[in-house]
Amino acid sequence: MPGRIWAHVMAQLSNTPSSTTSATSCKPAGSGQATYYIPPKTGLIASLPQSWIPYAELMRLDKPTGTYYLFFPCAFSTLLAAPIASASPLQTLGTMGLFLTGALIMRGAGCTINDLWDRNLDPHVERTKFRPIARKAISPRKAVVFTGLQLLAGLGILLHFPTQCLWYGIPSMLLVTTYPLAKRITYYPQAVLGLTFSWGAIMGFPALGVDLLSNREALEAAGALYSSCAAWTILYDMIYAHMDIKDDVAAGIKSIALRHEHNTKTVLATLAAIQVALLAAAGASVGAGPIFFIGSCGSAILSLGTMIWRVQLKNVQNCWWWFKNGCLFTGGGITFVRLPRPGFQLPSVLYARLLSSETRSAIDKAIASSPVVLFMKGTPETPQCGFSRASIQILGLQGVDPKKFVAFNVLEDSELRQGIKEYSDWPTIPQLYLDKEFVGGCDILMSMHQNGELAKLLEEKGVLVAAD
């Protein structure tokens, strides 16, 4: 039934002129000879009903590179957030799958909005003159209706995430709708595009239940990752803009490629350095180890350096090749290193920095200082994250004797915050120890509290308040 409804809607939208089914003469302004639109003969779009083809082209289904560029920041943030959220491989991959679907839909909506704004500019640019609205295969009114359908579909995907994602996701729509205006007023519309396409670098954290407002290290990681992805977006779109540089001059369209036409590679190299530095900062914020810095950051350095060195900015086809494949080289390299691999576990030392003997000794003393030791964010009186607050509440409900309990605030010591994760080989805070033995984090405590195991363990250890 949903398929029939969608087909009915598409049929109502489509009153497709002959330009979608046969070669059609078009005369762009300023051209003295006829040129022709040729419908696709191969690929996914060619197999669709003829009336659907203009809408598929409007979504750029035949050019998925933009979808990948929108998806990768989502993937980066999900993989960085997974250890903080203690997410399973299946949960992590499922979340990434939802993001990929959302990226496909929202990239299509963004392209439709862009083409609506540019409907009077696109006919003057060689690369865009046969886009569906520009060649009048789709009217602006139908494009607006189609945009609404895509946004509703995107909202449907967003509603599959935790509720807080809704509040993080909605503001991005302001950027989606205003980006096409930027090219009319500034030579740096790519900066606005960077802010738009990089929004997913924030979304992975709330998607896995990590509250950015109460988790400082997650907030720091999200901020650094968002800025890194914005720099990456500006970098690749600067190469993309070089394909249209001559037509942009004629049409009066502004771009960073025009502004820096004579020092483009210097700008690209600077953006690459900024991107990798901020990516490393994001990893450091969540305590990533050598495998991240060598694998993810190293692959980014290699792929970006090769692209900047080899791209031929005066060659349209070469710019397109690097734009299309550079996405997979850089984004794929960063993602692949962090992907969870069920059934295969690399040595933990590859994921963690080496714990110094001084820090290990300090943690040994802290754990031995009391029968019940909790490493948390904040203090028992003023917890600084929801997980720490829940752990304190659980211990209070169990009746732990305050005289046999001590808490250490990891926010006061960055070395302790990272060190305790490596010491226990547990990626999140808080962490509970009983008689020098590691018990677990908040999720473990919650489970043990609910099934009665925690009460039994605390009673065996003799750390409860004595009954009257």
CA neighbor of 114 nearest in space, from 142, 147, 138, 136 = 147
**Residues 235-241, mean pLDDT to the nearest whole number:** 89
pLDDT band at 203 (very low <50, low <70, confident <90, very high): very high
Distance CA 253, CA 114 (A): 14
Highest mean pLDDT among 65-79, 153-167, 382-396: 65-79
421 against 433, higher pLDDT:
433
Residues 149-164 have pLDDT tens digits of: 998 998 889 888 888 8
Residue 5 and residue 34 in contact, taking contact as beta carbons nearer than 8 Å: no
Q: Mean pLDDT, the chain, as a whole number?
A: 82
Check pLDDT > 60 for residue 351.
no
At position 68, the amino acid (one-letter code) is Y
Residue with tokens 């080496």: 354
Q: What pLDDT sits at residue 248? A: 65
pLDDT band at 303 (very low <50, low <70, confident <90, very high): very high
Q: Which domains does the chain have, with CATH numbers?
A: 2-20+44-261 (1.10.357.140), 356-461 (3.40.30.10)
pLDDT band at 345 (very low <50, low <70, confident <90, very high): very low
Residue 85 and residue 210 in contact, taking contact as beta carbons nearer than 8 Å: yes
Q: How many other CB atoms sit within 10 Å of the CB of residue 192?
A: 20
In the sheet that 372-376 helps form, which strands lie side by side, from edge to edge? 405-409, 372-376, 431-434, 437-440
Least-confidence region, from 14-28, 100-114, 447-461: 14-28
Q: What pLDDT sits at residue 75? A: 93
Name the percent of the chain lying above pLDDT 70. Answer: 85
Check pLDDT > 50 for residue 454.
yes
Residues 431-449 have pLDDT tens digits of: 999 999 999 888 888 889 9
**Residues 259-276, mean pLDDT to the nearest whole number:** 91
Distance CA 103, CA 199 (A): 11
Check pLDDT > 80 for residue 78.
yes
351 against 280, higher pLDDT:
280
Please give the angle made by the CA atoms of 291, 417 and 368, to the nearest 5 degrees.
Answer: 115
Assign residue 287 a region: left if phi > 0, alpha if psi is -120 to 50, beta otherwise? Answer: left
Residue 369 and residue 435 in contact, taking contact as beta carbons nearer than 8 Å: no
Assign residue 166 a region: left if phi > 0, alpha if psi is -120 to 50, beta otherwise? Answer: alpha
Check pLDDT > 50 for residue 236.
yes
Check pLDDT > 60 for residue 353.
no
